[in-house]
Every structure is written in C-alpha cells, then in structure tokens.
Amino acid sequence: MEVVLPLEHLGVSPERWDRFPLDAKAIIVNQHARLIQLEEAVRDLQARLKKDSSNSHKPPSSDPPGKQREKKKPSGKPSGAQKGHPGYHRPMVPLEQVDEVHKHFPDRCAHCEHVLTAEGDIPGVVGRHQIFELPKIKVTIIEHQTYERACYGCGKVTRAKLPEAVSQSSVGPQVQAEIAYLVGKCHLSRRRVVEYAATSWGLPLCMGTVHRIEQNVSQALEKPYVQVVKIVKAARVRNLDETGWKEKGKRRYLWSAGCAKATVFKIAPSRGAEVLKDLFGDALQNGHSITDRHKGYDPEIPMDQRGICWAHLKRDFKKIQQVGGLAGQLGDALQFRRKQARDLWYRFKDGGIDRAQLQEHSRPIRESIKRLLEEGQHYPKVGGACKDMLRYEQAMWNYLFVEGMEPTNNAAERALRQAVIWRKGSFGTQSLSGSQFVERILTVAETCRQNGRNMLDYLVSAVQSNILGHAAPSLILSVLALILFVLPDG
C-alpha cells in the first residue's frame, strides 16, 4: 500500500521519496503524524497556561503568583482626593443625643499666667470635640423564676408559665442576632465566634449553641426569604449567576438572583436549567435576565429577554487577541469596537445622549462586531468561540432597548463575592439546614444593603417576632415602592 503524504512537509523530493522502502515510508508517516499531534498538544497546553482571570472565566484568586494585572493608563492627576473635592467631616451629634459632657475651663491666663476663677467665666461654648467610644460590654444575665400557687377552690396546684416574649433559648434576641451577623455577614467561624463572645462579652458559649442559634435565626428568616423570592420573580430586570459550593463534601452550586430591590441566594445540586425552573417557574418568561453564556440558562430564557455580560465578552476578545496572526488582528478589532460600545454607554449614563441616540450610534458598532464574528468562525482555534458568541448576538445588545438593563452582570458577581469569601474560610456546609441558613442570611444581608437597612436591627426584630410566633417584618420598607417596582410598565 502506497503511503500518501505532502512531501514538502518532510523536506524530501519526490524522486528520493520513491526510492524509500514501503516500511520506511510508513514509519516516517506515522512519526510525522505523531509529531503533529504532539505539537498541537503543546500549543493547547501553552494556551491553557496563558489562561487567567483577564481572558477566561477563572477567578482572580486562581492567577499564579507574580501575575501582572492590567494597569490603567495614568491620568496624570495626583493620588488621593482631587483639588476642589468636598471634604468629608463627621457631623456633630446634637447635644441632646450626647451621653456624657465634660466641661473644661482654663485655670491660668495664657498671657500673664494669673490664676483664673469662675467669676471670669464667659457664657457660651467656644469649642466642641466629640469622641465615640464603646462601653465595656458585659452581657446582662436575666433570670426568670416560676412559682406555684394552690387553688382554694379545688385544691389543685398551678405552676406559672414563662411569658410568651421570653425565649426558650439560653440567649436573648440581641445575642442571637449578633452571632448570626458575625457568622453570616462577617464570616467568622463558629470557633472564632465562641472566642469573641467570651473575650468581648464575657459570655461562655459552645459551638453547638452557635449552631442552634443559626437554626433559630434561619427559622425566623423563612418568610422574609420567600418574600424576596417573589420580589425577584416579579422584577422587570434581574441578574443571575452561580458559583461552586460544598455540602457534606459533595459538589453543589450557590445561585444568586437579584434585582434593584432584593437579592435571593439558593444552594442547588447543579447549575443546570432545572434549578432555574424550580426557583422561578414560568416567571423567567416575564421581564429580562442578565447572565453569562452558561448553557444552563438557554432552555429557560429566550434570547429576546436576556442580556449577556460584556465583561465576559471582554475576556473572550482578549483571548482571541492572544492567539496571534489573523486571529489576533480579529481580536484587536473586536476589542476596539467593544471600547466604542462601552464609551457610548458611559455617555448615555452621564446624560450626554438619550436612549434613541444610544441605539442609533451603536448600530454600526453592532453590525461591525457581527461581521467580525462571522469572519472569525472560519479561523482555526477561535472559530468555535466566535460561533458561540454569534448565538447570543441579540442578547448582547438588549441593554440598548430595555430600561433598567445594564451591559454587565456585575451586580450578581458582587453579590456572590461575599459568599465566595465565606466559602474559602468555611469549606461549605455540612447539612441541608446549614445550607438553608447560608441561603437566608446571605439573602437578608444583600437585600438590607440594597435598601440601606441596618441588618443587625432587622435580625433582632426577626428573632423577637419569631419568639412571639409572629411573622418577621418585611425586608422592603416601602410597600408602595415595592408595588410600583413589580408592576409592568404602563
């Protein structure tokens, strides 16, 4: 059997090739094919080594030591607050809110050192200096004693019951809320919480008590959590993202779904479409959702109701740039057009142009990016990526037409960042109830932040309500604002 091979790849003339024995030709061809495979494998490995947070979905924490971050061009301005910038000064607290007042009078004249007495006092305060200080914290121990009384009518004895407002737990609502805050917001481990409680409050605790407190708080937050789910489902625009999680050592995924007024978290067994269906049902057919290009969103969210994160596109374009050659030039052109689209968006946000002008000025950029991606489909190494991006071409530009939609998914990624920090220190959860506490406390933390609400005060109110058997207060302060927020336009 004659072996066919482009001879120019071997540097052998046809006449010389014909004089080779057939077995030698077969060995040469096989070795050459093997060499081509190895070269391709080396290129793939080199491409993987070049992957980092700037050109892939890998988190910055996975970047190797010494990785140089992309530096912004210096503006030429000095560091710190700029000239003319209004300074921030803590305002004086009104005198009626001050806890202690210490009055200071001079005792000697600054000019002749004569002794000064009260007869020379001049009415009116000429200087005020306020110091904010924490008192030494010591827990208040409250003992509730129950007694018995005999009935003179029937002779029976009745034992008193604890008042309804008294917690059956050994710690009160304020302590429970503080511990939940330290764990869920500050991400302290249970061991560190035990240490802090003993050191700062003089309160002896064990880790089992901390766990029970987490469960009490989780129960108190059940209805507010359901309320937030409803708010996000009814939102006109929502941000979706997910990250890995561990539950009893098994792979799980922590989902984040947020809107302008609320954010909900959910730990699920997968990052597939079935989770979205379970969490939102048919609500995804209403409003718009901003996501990355994860395929799990595709079956549930139509492209005309979806926004694609341009921060991810930026990384993909950079990856194409780094391939080099014609593909690299294609990446350069894509990055140039992306920056033009970004600058237009900033002009729109700053009020320099209106939405109609934004759409008009973006049309040639949109057409150019589409042509570039269509051309890139035929390039080796980047063809698949270009083809994949073209599938989402409509979703890339929906932010031009939808009020309240941003071109990035930064809101969801910021919401997940605290969860990622928590995960790194806790290695996940060990039970379903532990996962529920994570879902609910993160939901309350982020929703309180969005609404400018004091999370600790809210947790105290929620725990107190739960002790009394009442529903926790709403996380959204203004019911009217909530109604207006979820109603469709018009």
* pLDDT one-digit tens code per residue, 71-92: 667 777 777 777 777 777 788 9
pLDDT digits (tens, 9 = 90+) for 144-168: 999 999 999 898 999 999 888 887 7
Instruction: Scan for tokens 């059940």, then name that residue.
Output: 222
Instruction: Answer yes or no: is pLDDT of 479 > 50.
Output: no
Same domain, 413 and 388: no
- 196 vs 140: CA distance, rounded Å: 16
What pLDDT is attached to residue 10?
A: 61
Tell me the chain's radius of gyration from C-alpha atoms. Answer: 33
Q: Are 55 and 322 in contact (CB under 8 A)?
A: yes
Residue 348's Cβ-side half-sphere holds a number of Cα atoms within 13 Å equal to 23
Count of domains forming the chain: 3
In sequence order, what are the beta bridge partners of 266? 255
Two tokens, residue 50: 């070049």
Which whole number is the average pLDDT over 371-395?
A: 92
Instruction: Report helix, strand or coil for 33.
Output: helix
What's the pLDDT band for 53 if we cut at 50, 70, 90? low
Instruction: Report helix, strand or coil for 259.
Output: coil
Two tokens, residue 169: 């737990």
The pTM of this model reads 0.79
Q: Are 290 and 310 in contact (CB under 8 A)?
A: no
Two tokens, residue 162: 């604890």
What's the pLDDT band for 9 if we cut at 50, 70, 90? low
Domain presence at residue 433: yes
Which whole number is the average pLDDT over 261-267?
A: 94
Two tokens, residue 195: 């240490």
Number of helical H runs and strand E runs in the chain: 16, 7
Name the most confidently modeled range: 19-23, 142-146, 482-486: 142-146
What pLDDT is attached to residue 263?
A: 95
Domain presence at residue 155: no
Same domain, 288 and 371: no
pLDDT digits (tens, 9 = 90+) for 187-234: 999 999 999 999 999 999 999 999 999 999 999 999 999 999 999 999
Instruction: Scan for tokens 């035990």, then name that residue.
Output: 194
Same domain, 238 and 273: yes
Largest interatomic CA distance in the chain = 127
pLDDT digits (tens, 9 = 90+) for 339-379: 999 999 999 999 999 999 999 999 999 999 999 999 999 98
Domain presence at residue 259: yes
Residue at a domain's end among 351, 380, 404 = 404
Q: Are 380 and 324 in contact (CB under 8 A)?
A: no
Q: Are 251 and 408 in contact (CB under 8 A)?
A: no
What's the pLDDT band for 7 if we cut at 50, 70, 90? low
Q: Are 107 and 115 in contact (CB under 8 A)?
A: yes
Same domain, 189 and 300: yes
Q: End-to-end alpha-carbon separation of the chain, Å?
A: 77
Domain presence at residue 178: yes
What pLDDT is attached to residue 489?
A: 42
Long-range Cβ contacts of 147-153 (<8 Å, 24+ apart): none
Same domain, 379 and 466: no
pLDDT digits (tens, 9 = 90+) for 438-464: 999 999 999 999 999 999 999 999 999
Same domain, 385 and 419: no
Same domain, 424 and 287: yes
What pLDDT is attached to residue 146?
A: 92
Q: Are 451 and 444 in contact (CB under 8 A)?
A: no
What's the pLDDT band for 236 if we cut at 50, 70, 90? very high
Q: Are 426 and 258 in contact (CB under 8 A)?
A: no
Of 1-5, 45-49, 224-228, the range with the lowest mean pLDDT is 1-5
Same domain, 206 and 242: yes
Same domain, 418 and 392: no
What's the pLDDT band for 485 if we cut at 50, 70, 90? very low
Residue at a domain's end among 379, 404, 429 = 404
Domain presence at residue 466: yes
Same domain, 328 and 445: no
What pLDDT is attached to residue 459?
A: 96
Domain presence at residue 121: no
Domain presence at residue 89: no
- Length of the chain, please? 490
Query: Residue 234 sits in which domain range?
Result: 172-309+409-490
What pLDDT is attached to residue 480?
A: 43
Same domain, 304 and 189: yes
What's the pLDDT band for 381 if we cut at 50, 70, 90? confident
Same domain, 241 and 294: yes
Domain presence at residue 112: no
What's the pLDDT band for 57 if we cut at 50, 70, 90? low
- State the average pLDDT for the chain: 86
Residue 399's Cβ-side half-sphere holds a number of Cα atoms within 13 Å equal to 25
Q: Are 265 and 286 in contact (CB under 8 A)?
A: no
